[in-house]
Structure 1
Amino acid sequence: TNLVDVSMKAVEICHLYISPGHNFVGHHGREPDAYPMIEVPMIECVAGLGIRDDRYFDFKNNYKGQITFFSLEVFDELCATLGLHDCSPASLRRNVMTRGVDLNELIGE
């Protein structure tokens, strides 16, 4: 777990994930692949390209999905509401799982 200061708020980075390939993108009419989400201790972000070794790295120049975030508070609430137990945040296929920040406030920043 790492703490990051965003506008005087402590943000907890709880999980970092990458995936070597796409399970759904480009599979129109075919079965999905089974590339796993791999939890890593750190990621290398390259401006305009994304996360090195992730499926979206250099996908398209300045692609808005080159890194994705999801709130663990929202994940926990979804699991509780849907009665899901033993569900991993990796199942969302997002790169950075956070606590302590309203991610919607960061859109466009």
Structure 2
Amino acid sequence: MTEVEVVQLLVSPAHRLAGRPSDGLPSVPDDRVPRVEVRRGLGLVGDRYFGQPAHRDASVTVMAAENLPVGIRASADLRHTRRNVLLRGADIDSLVGATCFLDCGQGPVLFAVNRPARPCAWMDVTVGPGAQRALRGGGGVRCTPLSDGVLAVGPAMFRVLEQPPGRA
């Protein structure tokens, strides 16, 4: 088990970035929250992907804070990256195919780590020039919650229960 930190949580009830990045950044409300309820197979309560059949295997996106480009780590947040969980202390991007849990003190929440969350062109607008390229291979992972629970900002415990294929 590894001690980690949930740096930020974001639950966005609507898609906030419409149009093309070249159109400029729209006003983005602050959808960060101190805690969120997680529902098995459905996602984060109140999020735009909650219960959406097309997003069941990717309803929660987790990103490692360490992967934010150097120089913007202090100023970038989940409003810019459009991820749900910003986690410090775990190399989440290396765990595609794994099953893991995150326990923020109210019991473990299990996740299937399904696939990379590829950075899009919006990253160059919201995070800063060059962010899309800098985040390739480190833009986070799309997950399915395998249990109900609560995530909260602050210290947490992280554990890989089942390693990704090809890893011992």
* TM-score clears 0.5: yes
Asked if 1:96 corresponds to 2:85, the answer is yes
Write the distance in 2 (CA, Å) between the matches of 1:15 and 1:89: 8
1:60 to 53, 73, 78: 53
Unaligned runs of 5+ in 2: 100-168
Asked if 1:107 corresponds to 2:96, the answer is yes
Write the distance in 1 (CA, Å) between the matches of 2:4 and 2:75: 23
Moved over 6 A (4+): none
Write the distance in 1 (CA, Å) between the matches of 2:44 and 2:27: 20
Write the distance in 1 (CA, Å) between the matches of 2:31 and 2:52: 19
Pair 106,62 (structure 1): closer, same or farther in 2 beyond 3 Å: same
Amino acid aligned to 1:88: A
Amino acid aligned to 2:90: V
Q: CA RMSD in A?
A: 2.6
Q: Residues 42 and 59 of structure 2 are in contact (CA less than 8 Å); yes or no, is this contact kept in structure 1?
A: yes
Write the distance in 1 (CA, Å) between the matches of 2:50 and 2:41: 9
Write the distance in 1 (CA, Å) between the matches of 2:92 and 2:73: 24
1:18-97 map, 5 Å: 18-24=11-17, 36-60=29-53, 63-75=56-68, 78-80=69-71, 84=72, 87-90=75-78, 91-97=80-86
Provide the aligned length of Structure 1 versus Structure 2. 94
Write the distance in 2 (CA, Å) between the matches of 1:85 and 1:65: 25
Percent of paired sites with the same residue: 31
Q: TM (normalized to structure 2)?
A: 0.47
Q: Residues 48 and 61 of structure 1 are in contact (CA less than 8 Å); yes or no, is this contact kept in structure 2?
A: no
Amino acid aligned to 2:96: I
Q: Residues 19 and 35 of structure 1 are in contact (CA less than 8 Å); yes or no, is this contact kept in structure 2?
A: no
Write the distance in 2 (CA, Å) between the matches of 1:48 and 1:85: 31
Structure 1 residue 24 displacement after superposition: 4.6
Pair 86,17 (structure 1): closer, same or farther in 2 beyond 3 Å: same
Q: Of Structure 1 and Structure 2, which has the larger fraction of its residues in strand?
A: 2
Q: TM (normalized to structure 1)?
A: 0.69
Structure 1 residue 60 displacement after superposition: 1.2
